[in-house]
A and B are shown apart, each in its own frame.
Chain A
Amino acid sequence: MSADIYLNVAVGGLLTGLIYGLMALGLSVIFGVVRVVNFAHGEMMTVAMYLAVILFANYGLDPLLMMLPIAVLFFVAGYLMQLGLINPFITRPEYMQFILLLAVAIIIVNGVLIVFGPDAQTVQTSYAFDSFAIGPLIVDATKLYAGLAALVVASALFAFFRFAPLGKAVRACADNQIGALVVGLNVKRLYALSFGLGLACVGAAGAIIVLVVDVTPPLGPAYTLLAFVIVITGGLGSMSGALIGGVLIGLTEAMAGLFFTPSAKSMFAFAILVLVLLFRPQGIMGQKLS
């Protein structure tokens, strides 16, 4: 095998990893603040993917352009969902939160199956089959656009939490809920905001991922599992950890497929997870467990 293939596969894995990272980011944002694990994460993302498919099929709207409107829609849905459905469960035992979100996941999977059927739905943009050749390197255009969009969304989110007063308030709430209450922050509203932001990430990720993956109803549970692998590897609750975890898993899968056998790609991703759990249980960027 020539050296070109290593470069090509590594770049492909990196871009896939960035998309994985964005997909997992929403899960980390929600857990980091609200301390609720969204077991319907992947399923919610498939809803965004179907939405992008509908907008493209009926109005010819490019998913990359629709990323922002879909994210806004998901933000509103997440905000309302937190206030109406999740909030009563925040103080309840974790198994109740688990059952609630599992039920939401099952409803979504079967709902999209009823509405859209089992066939894979796809978005065939004008650049769907394009690639860029830079010397021996061939870069998949859709993966490149999707990877760059993932970077933009993640940067915007980091900037919000770092510089915006509201973002700082959310971080304060995540760090010390009692302290946030004492200084007069509206914790319930901040929780709803965080859940909304988490779902906005999910919406944006769905709109981006549909460029590289055909959507089917069973995709949801598969992506929920993948998101968990990524955020646990990167550090549950850590936003930078989600992105780093995504890139690590994306690269691991790609290189494992190249050096060993492609059918063992997922096995290596899980092997990374096991190693992290054994030697750094808090995840790569997570805070040390007390």
Chain B
Amino acid sequence: MSSEMKGFSVMVNRRRLLAGAAATTTLLASPAIVRAQGAALKVGVLLPRSGAQAGIGQDCFRGVEIAGPILKANGYPDLQIMSADTETSVDTARSRAEKLIADGAQLLVGAFDSGQSSAIAQVAEQKGIPFVINIAAAPPITEQGYKFVFRNFPIAGSILSDAFANQKEIFAETGVTPKSVVFLHCNDTFGTAMKNGIGAVFPKANMPYAIKETIAYDPTARDLSVEISKAKASGADALLVVSRLNDAILLTRELVKQRWSPMGILSMGPGWYEDQYLKTLGKLGDGPLSFVPWYDPNKKLSKQLEAAVEKKYPGVNLNLNHVYTFEALLIAADAYKRAKTADPKALADAIRTTNITENTTAGPGISFDAKGQNDKLKNVAIQNRGGKLVTVAPKGSTNAKVQWPMLAYDKRR
């Protein structure tokens, strides 16, 4: 034995060894407490960053990339982001959620899509890890009695109720009302939930138009000419749509090619306000109205987000993908700050008592009901105008006057 080792053995006497062992045991037994003393919360972010929804998944991730400095500037603790790509697949979403948890994620955020979010919710509940949904509207997700699943996004019924109210406001303001619409919807989980929602909400909404025909289509379809041919042949005045990004672009192209300019496009989902839609179609992308959950441009945090997006992604408009993904992280950081621990149950309890009023989205703020749903969110009507997005309804939240009916396609080229 060397002299140094002898010296070490002298220093480490029995009492010191026991004290060290006790400290080590405490450290191992209470990792969450130690982490709360400054370590970042490990947040697994699941998004469809490849596959059919890749464009929107990547856009959502912009909300993650701008979040760090803004949260820090507002006094929230650090988050360590663990990113996973769901590949626009429910099965992959499930397996990636399991992998993130196995790799040490203490809270999950995601996943833009209702089907994928449902799968992640099952995993989160099973493993007892809090899951904050950024975007997903299918009602059943928060109707399962889950204790670890929270959603800061309106459900289909709420989106539709507000959408119909905002539409009536626009028709009344302009004096131009469609007598009939054709309803085109993608047939994925979200599209089907919205279709079912319309079945329930529309009869009570006392709308001035009738739905002449309902056409379901595959959102991954490469050709939507038949869909538009059928819609055109229905003789409806306007289009009511629930779609995704690529299909929204395809539908617009077909409208132009088939020389049909409806009175307007009333969208109640993603696609029509996305930057890629605006950039791909240019002038032809102007006009559609989207009735969606949105941000309140007058809130302080919204202005910070707008500035951050403008700085990091010049030319990109702040949209709901960024805002709701950011708010999911805001909820996580706020819960971690208040819980002072990364213990999943304590985090879930903290999220349950969330009361954030300094947020970005339209409505009074972020809080959750007994089901884990933020039921106080408000939806607005936005319109594509010259490559930008303006808010046109409801009254009090607008920053532009609506253009209705929209300009015919053949008058723009």
Contacts and interface: CB of A to CB of B under 8 A. Distances in A.
Interface in B202-242: 215-218, 220-227, 229-230, 232-233
Contacts of B226: 9, 12-13, 253-254, 257-258, 262, 265
B284 interface: yes
A140 B257 contact: yes
Nearest to A256: B226
Contacts of B232: 5
Contacts of B360: none
Interface in B358-413: 413
B276 interface: yes
Interface stretch (B52-60, B120-128, B319-327, B349-357): B52-60
Nearest to B284: A129
Contacts of A213: 222-223
Which of B218, B227, B229, B246 is most buried by chain A, counting CB atoms within 10 A of its CB?
B229
B259 interface: yes
A133 B51 CA distance: 36
B229 A8 contact: yes
Interface string A234-265: 00000000000000000001100110011101
A286 interface: no
Interface residues of B, number: 39
A9 B229 contact: yes
Nearest to B413: A129
Contact of B218 (A12, A138, A219, A265): A265
Contacts of A130: 257
Nearest to B191: A263
A180 B49 CA distance: 51
A164 B58 CA distance: 51
A218 B230 contact: no
A262 B217 contact: yes
Interface of A: 1-2, 4-5, 8-9, 12-13, 16, 113, 117-120, 122, 124, 128-131, 133, 138, 140-141, 212-214, 216-219, 222, 253-254, 257-258, 261-263, 265-266
Interface of B: 49-52, 54-55, 57-58, 88, 187, 215-218, 220-227, 229-230, 232-233, 245-246, 249-250, 253, 256-259, 276, 280, 284, 413
Nearest first, the 3 closest Cβ-Cβ pairs linking A and B are A118-B54, A257-B226, A5-B233
Given A124-B280, A253-B226, A261-B215, 8 more contacts: A1-B230, A5-B229, A5-B232, A5-B233, A16-B225, A118-B54, A140-B258, A219-B222
